Amino acid sequence: MKQTANQRLKEIRFSENYSQEEFAKEIGVSLSGYQLIEQGKRDINTKILESLKNKFNVSADWLLFGKGDGSATNENSPEIYREMLQSSKNIWNILKPFTMGLDVLVTVMRQSEENHGDDALFKSKDYIQELKLYEKVVLIVNKLNKLEALFQNITLDNKTICDQKEDVVLMTEMCNALTLVIYPPIMPYLVKGMGVGVVEFWKDKNKDDFRNLELLDKYIK
């Protein structure tokens, strides 16, 4: 079975003979935060990637995608960022169809709330949490759409891809975070090839069907 990023991170810690507390201190995160990362419940951010590169010579491409031998010697190679971008695009192509039209659903729900605000439905905890979830996902989707458009409208020569490496990493991080949140609920639809509208898919789910929602918070500003 292919290793995940959090499993590779744990492998680094073991190879360096660190406890979780010691390793968390080395890479600049709290112990509780690091434990969540090892459990796959929190994303590996750029600060951690930079710490791993500087202190342990670990390649971000190997850690996130399992590519290469783990060494960060060629970390700034344009090809590394080009591959990261392509991987992110592939992930986004899978997730995007399940997000199209969600912004319209949010607008309709907000309008219904304004028009019928006294109705108990709109004051219920489940409804409020459901709407907040949709709004979080829409904000991330909008950012991913902008990044996708950016990379479609520029020539990805070596200089340009290196100049845009922060955007490449951001797109990679957001795709990873969104995958952890919405991929498990959509997997049955992908496996069975079930045709379902976006509105029907989201209305068929509730907040408890989605995990790791806190991963989206860092990208919502």
Structural domains of the chain sorted by starting position, each given as residue range(s) with its CATH number in brackets: 5-65 (1.10.260.40), 78-219 (no CATH)
Beta strands in the chain (DSSP E): none
pLDDT tens digit at each of 221 positions of the chain: 567 888 889 988 998 889 999 999 999 999 999 999 998 888 888 788 888 888 888 888 788 887 765 555 455 677 778 888 888 898 898 888 888 888 888 888 888 877 776 776 667 777 788 888 888 889 999 999 999 999 988 777 877 887 888 899 899 889 888 888 887 777 776 666 555 566 667 777 766 777 777 888 888 86
Residue from 172, 185, 149 nearest 81 by CA: 172
- Give the whole-angstrom CA distance, residue 16 versus residue 204: 46
Q: What is the per-residue DSSP string for 152-183? A: HSS---HHHHHHTHHHHHHHHHHHHHHHHHHH
| Residues forming beta bridges with residue 71, ordered by sequence position | 58
Question: Are 44 and 174 spatial neighbours (Cβ–Cβ below 8 Å)?
Answer: no
Residue from 47, 55, 48, 84 nearest 72 by CA: 55
φ, ψ (nearest 5 deg) of residue 39: -80, -5
Q: Report CA 18 to chain centroid distance, whole Å.
A: 27
Question: Are 199 and 101 spatial neighbours (Cβ–Cβ below 8 Å)?
Answer: yes
- Give the whole-angstrom CA distance, residue 43 versus residue 37: 6
pTM of the model: 0.61
| Per-residue pLDDT at 71 | 55
